[in-house]
Amino acid sequence: MVPISREGRKTMKYVVVLGDGMADYPIEELKGGTPLSAANTPMLDELAKMSEIGLVHTIPEGMAPGSDTANLSVIGYDPKQYYTGRSPLEALSIGVDMKDTDVALRCNIVTVTEEESSYEDRTILDHSSGEISTEDAAILLEAVRKELETDICKFYVGTSYRHLLIWDRGEVVELTPPHDVLGQRIGEHLPKDDMLREMMRKSYDILNEHPINVERAKKGLNKANSIWFWGAGTRPALSSFKEKYGKKGVMISAVDLLKGIAVGADMTNITVEGANGGLNTNYEGKAMAAVKALTEDGYDFAYIHVEAPDEMGHQGSLSKKIQSIENLDQKVIKIVKENLDKSAEPYRMLVLPDHPTPIAIRTHCSDPVPYLLYDSTKKVESELHYNEADAKESGNYIAQGHDMMDYLFGNK
């Protein structure tokens, strides 16, 4: 039964489909095109003809381009006001109740080279240890925890290669994201803080010959042979999304960061079986979870976050990034549109990335990203396609990403 507002009108539903890192720079191999313009996306092409296309600047001036600042921005929280580091948001999703004096640090398990005799001379090969499974990573982290945990430093298991350290009475020290220095000697990028640096060094001795890594090496998989700290911060204080926008919201993501933002914003996290943040995630399951939340469970707003394009950008794989965008088009956007059309609910759908993860640099940048805004109650006619160049040509520009929610809700 479609909820009817007091004035007898059906209440508008809102859905965001965010392809993490899917924007890119023009690529020679694509004759100046991008993965978005080259991908075969019949649903987005159809939507583009009847939607508003434009550019939005999600990363505030002077802040580092990351999924943390960018998604906070897209969900309507000005990072300049609300951002206190990446890892505290993940701590929220792991259910760690941080004290005011706590500092949370992301603890990746990464792959470094083995030939060198000194730890500083090693090179970082992979920030994700080949996207190791959470099961294997948990065993390795347990080995590290046994040796290195103290009364002021506690380790917490997250997802795949993404884990957490809570440092009581710690410092919010400057640290280097591992995906920013892939292929480089690690010496220059280690923490200046002695305690953190020694923990990383010792982790190599604990992990490199661990049975799980011996097994991985036999299978030709990257060893998960060092921990890497980054993204330090203190407890975040997000206001409730419902109070801020008057909308009951759900979050559908496999990534702890997004789940943490949802916990902080008092939105409901929906866990979808098989959603893993990778290229072969359960796209359809995420789409249907959003449709059910909006059409059956009384939610007004659904945020569907798909990590795959970002991971493929970090891997530097053009074909896989294009594949992830084609999957997003056919296995998420198409399913959401067709089912919301069938439900006869009026709705507005926003499609956008949080930031670009260009194949050429294999990491994030702060360039504005293209958005597509479709309103099932009003049709605009447009010749444009959904890609970076056409979005620029449209002349539509939202300078502050945290205004995007008001724009979606029609408050601006």
Which residues of the chain form contacts with Zn ion (CB under 5 A)?
Answer: 20-21, 67, 310, 354
- Rounded Cα distance, 40 and 310, in Å: 18
- Rounded Cα distance, 290 and 296, in Å: 10
> Smallest distance from the beta carbon of 174 to Zn ion, in angstroms?
21
Measured from the CB atom, the residue of 212 and 275 that comes closer to Zn ion is: 275
How would you class 117 by CB atoms within 10 Å of its CB: exposed for 0-12, middle for 13-18, buried for 19 or more? exposed
> Smallest distance from the beta carbon of 254 to Zn ion, in angstroms?
13
Measured from the CB atom, the residue of 20 and 126 that comes closer to Zn ion is: 20
DSSP string for residues in 197-237: HHHHHHHHHHHTT-HHHHHHHHTTPPP--EEEEEEEE----
> Smallest distance from the beta carbon of 355 to Zn ion, in angstroms?
6
Measured from the CB atom, the residue of 148 and 257 that comes closer to Zn ion is: 257
Among residues 178, 113, 89, 151, which one has the least CA distance to residue 362?
178
| Sign of the four-CA dihedral 333, 335, 336, 341 | positive
Q: Which residues sit opposite 124 in a β-bridge?
A: 112
Measured from the CB atom, the residue of 288 and 365 that comes closer to Zn ion is: 365
Token pair of 374 as six digits: 């479709």
- Rounded Cα distance, 253 and 275, in Å: 8
> Smallest distance from the beta carbon of 319 to Zn ion, in angstroms?
20
> Smallest distance from the beta carbon of 20 to Zn ion, in angstroms?
4
Closest-by-Cβ residue to Zn ion is 67
Instruction: Establish how many alpha carbons lie within 13 A of residue 166's alpha carbon, considering only the half-sphere containing its beta carbon.
Output: 21
* Three-state secondary-structure class, residue 31: coil
> Smallest distance from the beta carbon of 364 to Zn ion, in angstroms?
6
Measured from the CB atom, the residue of 126 and 310 that comes closer to Zn ion is: 310
Q: Residue 37: enclosing H or E segment and its boundaries?
A: helix 35-38
Measured from the CB atom, the residue of 24 and 354 that comes closer to Zn ion is: 354
Question: Is residue 232 a contact partner of residue 104, using CB atoms and an 8 Å limit?
Answer: yes
> Smallest distance from the beta carbon of 279 to Zn ion, in angstroms?
15
Measured from the CB atom, the residue of 20 and 24 that comes closer to Zn ion is: 20
> Smallest distance from the beta carbon of 71 to Zn ion, in angstroms?
7
Phi-psi region of 215 (alpha: psi -120 to 50; beta: other; left: phi over 0): alpha
Measured from the CB atom, the residue of 39 and 308 that comes closer to Zn ion is: 308
